[in-house]
Amino acid sequence: MLKERSLANFFDEYLKKGSVFGDKSRLQTNYKPEDIPHRDLQLEQVGVIIRPALRLERPSNFFVYGKTGTGKTLVVTKMVDFLIETASGAGVFVSSAYVNCKLDTDTVYGLFTTLAREAGIDLPSTGLSTDDVSGAFFSAIDKKKQVFFIVLDEIDHLIKKAGDDFLYKLTRQNEQLLNAQVAIIGISNDLMFADSLDPRVKSSLSQEELVFPPYNAVELQDILNDRTLSAFAEGALETGVVEKCAAYAAREHGDARRALDLLRVAGELADRKSSGKVSIADVDGAEEKIERDKVADIVSTQPKQAQVVLFSIISVTNGSSKFIFTGEVYEVYRRLCQTVGLRPLTQRRVSDILSEFDMLGVITARVISKGRHGRTREIMLAEQAGTVSVRRILQDALGI
């Protein structure tokens, strides 16, 4: 226990040092920066496609592809907002509704209620069918002579759950509208996604396609430097911190979201130590923490069976980092299933779950040959999955 005097010092120290942050909100994902470095070409491409709306001509529907953190959402929403502003200055009606098909909804009904809400339409809260809601949405926007952009972000997620019929209907909608004209902008991280669409949908939706390339480490540095200008207190970043964040974020593919997260978490770690400065070591700490959180996230959203499998691995491993046999895991898994009241899956199905975990980086698997006795698989728990917090998540989820 700290003595009262040192306790007072403890908080004084904190106050004196102050936070490393200035305007921290600049590091948040939904913050829209003024400048968008290294996306001039993409901003212009989007602008060229959507600008006929300024003359109330219907723009092409189009798709934007690119890996996560390549600026797709930022560039599209910024340009659409900017266009709407310009249009309103010129007395032309242009509107938009944005739906994140991963976060906001997983049904077509949900899609249209979100669109209606975005467009400021009041709907009765119960008793409506999907057709009622889409009908209400379209008749509301058709009251005005306008171009209406529907931005469907992370669209592949909704199509996986709900099929692509609704997209076909959306693209046909203009034939029914008297005043308004609808233009659809689809955004996806999955480059292969359009190939899975019905060819009619594909051709009417991807009249144009843009692919956003990943940023390289130098570009990420520029992006970070731009945003950190007022996100951090003056002199709070030690030399090399921005470079290190950019280098880490460029390792898999140049992901600006990852780079910003690293910098923010590094700042939070520095503040926790009240060191007054963000050091390179804080960036390493941030990288570890983000990886750990990612695993915790994966673990907590797994189906129950997979959680039991993982808990079995953790039990067999018992805190050590060594390879274990999948046979041992299966034995423990069967007993655990009894405890939590689940019917055990076959060894073959458990094997599939293990492959999935391997892909997600929760475990590492290797196949070893046992000479003429055939081959067997050994697995090792990833370091971030062997933590107390992962164990606790599983215990809570399974009630054990």
Ligand X SMILES: Nc1ncnc2c1ncn2[C@@H]1O[C@H](COP(=O)(O)OP(=O)(O)O)[C@@H](O)[C@H]1O
Rounded Cα gap, residues 101 and 98, in angstroms: 9
Least Cβ distance, residue 156 to ligand X (angstroms): 13
> Which amino acid, one-letter code, is at 122?
D
Residue 223 within binding range of ligand X, rule CB under 6 A: yes
CA distances from 41 to 44, 197, 213, 216, 387 (A): 5, 28, 11, 16, 45
Least Cβ distance, residue 188 to ligand X (angstroms): 10
Which option in ligand X, Mg ion, none does residue 157 bind, with CB closer than 5 to 8 A by kind?
none
Q: Which is nearer to Mg ion, 255 or 268 (CB)?
A: 255
In the region spanning residues 251 to 280, those forming contacts with ligand X, defined by CB under 6 A, are 256-257, 260
Q: Which of 68, 139, 225, 274 binds ligand X (CB under 6 A)?
A: 68
Q: Which is nearer to ligand X, 36 or 299 (CB)?
A: 36
Residue 386 within binding range of ligand X, rule CB under 6 A: no
- Best CA proximity match to 115, nearest among 135, 131, 144, 137: 137
Which option in ligand X, Mg ion, none does residue 69 bind, with CB closer than 5 to 8 A by kind?
ligand X
Least Cβ distance, residue 384 to Mg ion (angstroms): 25
Name the closest residue to ligand X (Cβ).
71
- Residue 91 has which token pair? 């007395």
Residue 321 within binding range of ligand X, rule CB under 6 A: no
Q: Which is nearer to ligand X, 73 or 134 (CB)?
A: 73
- How many positions of this chain bind ligand X (CB under 6 A)? 18
Q: What is the dihedral of CA 210, 107, 124, 121, to 10 degrees?
A: 0
Residue 73 within binding range of Mg ion, rule CB under 5 A: yes
- Kindly indicate which of the ranges 72-80, 109-117, 142-150, 199-207 contains the residues binding ligand X, using the contact rule CB under 6 A: 72-80
Token pair 């920066």 is at which residue?
33
Rounded Cα gap, residues 303 and 382, in angstroms: 19
Which option in Mg ion, ligand X, none does residue 257 bind, with CB closer than 5 to 8 A by kind?
ligand X
- Residue 65 has which token pair? 């592809």
Looking at the chain, the number of H-run helices and the number of E-run strands are: 16, 8
- Letter string b/e over residues 173-190, b meaning 16 or more CB atoms within 10 A of that residue's CB: beeeeeebbbbbbbbbbb
Q: Which is nearer to ligand X, 79 or 223 (CB)?
A: 223
Residue 26 within binding range of ligand X, rule CB under 6 A: no
CA distances from 76 to 44, 87, 235, 310, 326 (A): 10, 16, 34, 40, 47
Q: E strand or H helix at 284, and its extent? A: helix 280-300
> Which amino acid, one-letter code, is at 215?
Y
- Kindly indicate which of the ranges 71-79, 156-164, 366-374, 379-387 contains the residues binding ligand X, using the contact rule CB under 6 A: 71-79
Residue 153, classed as helix, strand or coil, is: strand
Rounded (10°) angle between helices 256-272 and 280-300: 110
Q: Which of 26, 61, 62, 72 binds ligand X (CB under 6 A)?
A: 72
Q: Which is nearer to Mg ion, 42 or 73 (CB)?
A: 73
Q: Which of 6, 9, 25, 29 binds ligand X (CB under 6 A)?
A: 29
- Kindly indicate which of the ranges 18-26, 28-36, 111-119, 262-270 contains the residues binding ligand X, using the contact rule CB under 6 A: 28-36
Interacting residues with ligand X (CB under 6 A): 29, 33, 36-39, 66, 68-74, 223, 256-257, 260
